[in-house]
Amino acid sequence: MVFQRKSEPKTLTVVPADVTALSPHAGSGVRMAESVIGKDMSIEGQSITVRCKGSLRVNGAIAADLHCTELVVGEEAVVNGSIAADTVRVFGQVQGAILGAHVVLHPSAQVEGDIHSQSLTIEQGASFDGRSRKVTNAAEVAPQLENPETQAHAYG
């Protein structure tokens, strides 16, 4: 009989490196640093989840699920994975589902996947191939900012 260890999903927590690049954190009155995945960066792997409690800007290529308060997908960025954020602004390419209270697809956006949101704006020139669904309960699209395994250990 052969036993294999169950591979656990990898989680990457993004910690802001530059506190001079400030952006507002919705609802708290406190300004948070913006975390950036630069144009020269690529994040790849199996079952990767990136969590950011503040604002995240992706300018590079990432193959992972993203959970953050605010997400900006830059014009040259490529995201392959699901997105969950309070606010999502897409200028680049996304292949995967988007869950967000407020989602904006800018003219250069190319999205292939379903969008579930409270408000969705698709600007002229944006490309969207998928279905959209309006949600009324913010909890349906809320990002999971804490690692569930960490929470289980803290309370269990």
pLDDT digits (tens, 9 = 90+) for 56-91: 999 999 999 999 999 999 999 999 999 999 999 999
β-pairing verdict for 22-24 and 31-37: antiparallel
Q: In the chain, what percentage of residues exceed pLDDT 90?
A: 59
Asked if 42 and 64 touch (Cβ cutoff 8 Å), the reply is no
Q: β-pairing, 132-134 with 115-122? A: parallel
Mean per-residue pLDDT for 1-8? Answer: 50
pLDDT given for residue 115 in this prediction: 98
Residue 14 CB coordination number (10 Å): 17
Between 7 and 109, residue with greater pLDDT: 109
3-state class (DSSP) for residue 146: coil
* Per-residue pLDDT tens over the stretch 23-65: 333 444 555 678 999 999 989 888 899 999 999 999 999 999 9
State the pTM of this model: 0.76
Q: Residue 87 and residue 152: Cα distance in Å, rounded?
A: 27
The pLDDT tens digits for 98-148 are: 999 999 999 999 999 999 999 999 999 999 999 999 999 888 888 888 877
Phi and psi at 121, nearest 5°, equal -120, 125
Residues in CB range of 138: below 8 A, 6 or more apart: 101, 118
What pLDDT shows up at residue 22? 38
Mean pLDDT of the chain: 82
Is the pLDDT at 151 greater than 90? The verdict is no
Res 12 pLDDT > 90: no
Of 36, 47, 43, 44, the residue nearest 71 (C-alpha): 36
